[in-house]
Amino acid sequence: MITSKNKLFKKFIVAVLFLVSTVGITAQPRGITLEAVKPNKTATVTAGQYRALIIGNNQYRDSKGKWPSLKTAVTDAKALHAVLKENYGFTDIKLLENATRRDVLVELDLLSKRVLKNDHVLVYYAGHGYVDSESQKGYWVPVDATGTDQTTFLRNSTIRDEMTVLASRAKHTLLISDSCFSGTLLRRGNRGIQSDLKNEKYYQKVLNKKSVQIMSAGGVEYVDDEYNSTGHSPFSHFLLSELKNNDQPLLTLSELSSNVTKAVANNVDQVPESGVLQGAGDELGEFVFIKVDVKVSGIPKEKVKVKVNVISDDNKSTDVKVESSPESLDKKSSQRFTPIPTL
């Protein structure tokens, strides 16, 4: 016989189960606060590793005096190395200072052997550049270059070949060249839409499409070595400024390039350019910089929320919002956090 107490107890259990199923539970693992959010219905981005080769050449050895030493290329390279590693989660990043022709080719080859199909690969060069006025062939000039002996330079066609190999193995590939005549490397072309029109669907689209992009300090022109005693070239100064002051979790190369181009052109007689590497398999995707620790001026760090994808050891993912940096997690945690394209 069912008593009135049993009936009340059953009603209580039903009510509790209903609340649990509709409200959800908020978890607080290891120092961060997680809030349940609606599952993302769009395609999940397959996360790869962020890798980079950063080259800065200052100390030129040319006995013929054609290539004087530079002041800021190594400083530019070191600063970019730091911001990519600390702000954007690059985990495989090699800094190459005062590189010979062989040094560059060896490191590009080693990098290509480490790249996996969903990786994001960035190559940066700061140093002398050269273009032959008759053949219009462009070159990077390594520190062991000799006068105008072009066999001691790195021809653009060689650089394109190496970048094409990287692009064949990676999802997104980006070459940034801060040297004179660096625009000879690229095929001009614009992509991207207005910033205020970008949404989750747009970022999902460009992240999942292959990209092989180039950003150069200028076109077929000389570029400056130092800007207003900053210790950086004009191009690298504004590139670093944009990366450091970015307060968005996702920054596309088209957005970065647009901002840097405007800043450089407004301050010096130099116009950076961007485009794609022709014939390397570009599919109109975008290289996207994903900030690992978003800081917004005037807002306490603990109030900043970034949506991330939590991937457990069994590779099952859950969408959550993180109210502080994912780096606050214990390194021994069985979960890893990777940002997903949601603003």
* Beta-carbon contacts of residue 17 (< 8 Å; ≥ 6 apart): none
DSSP state of 83: H
The whole-number pLDDT of residue 295 equals 53
- Which residues does the chain have with pLDDT short of 50? 16-45, 183, 187-197, 296, 304, 306, 308-313, 317-343
Euclidean distance between CA atoms 111 and 199, whole angstroms: 33
246 token code pair: 């970015």
Give the Å distances, CA to CA, from 125 to 26, 185, 217, 228, 287: 46, 12, 10, 21, 17
Segments in the chain forming alpha helices (H): 4-23, 73-87, 101-114, 156-169, 200-208, 234-245, 253-267
Euclidean distance between CA atoms 226 and 261, whole angstroms: 17
The whole-number pLDDT of residue 198 equals 57
Domain ranges of the chain: 50-290
| Residue pLDDT, tens place only, 143-166 | 999 999 999 999 988 998 999 999
- For domain 50-290, give its CATH number from 3.40.50.300, 3.40.50.1460, 3.10.20.30, 1.10.645.10: 3.40.50.1460
Local structure of 68: helix, strand or coil: coil
The whole-number pLDDT of residue 73 equals 94
What do you get for the CA distance between the two ends of the chain, in Å? Answer: 57
| Residue pLDDT, tens place only, 253-306 | 999 999 999 999 899 888 888 888 776 677 778 899 999 865 545 555 555 454
- Residue 226 near residue 233 (C-beta atoms within 8 A): yes
The whole-number pLDDT of residue 64 equals 85
- Residue 100 near residue 107 (C-beta atoms within 8 A): no
Give the Å distances, CA to CA, from 201 to 41, 119, 261, 337: 10, 21, 26, 21
- Residue 233 near residue 227 (C-beta atoms within 8 A): yes
The whole-number pLDDT of residue 41 equals 38
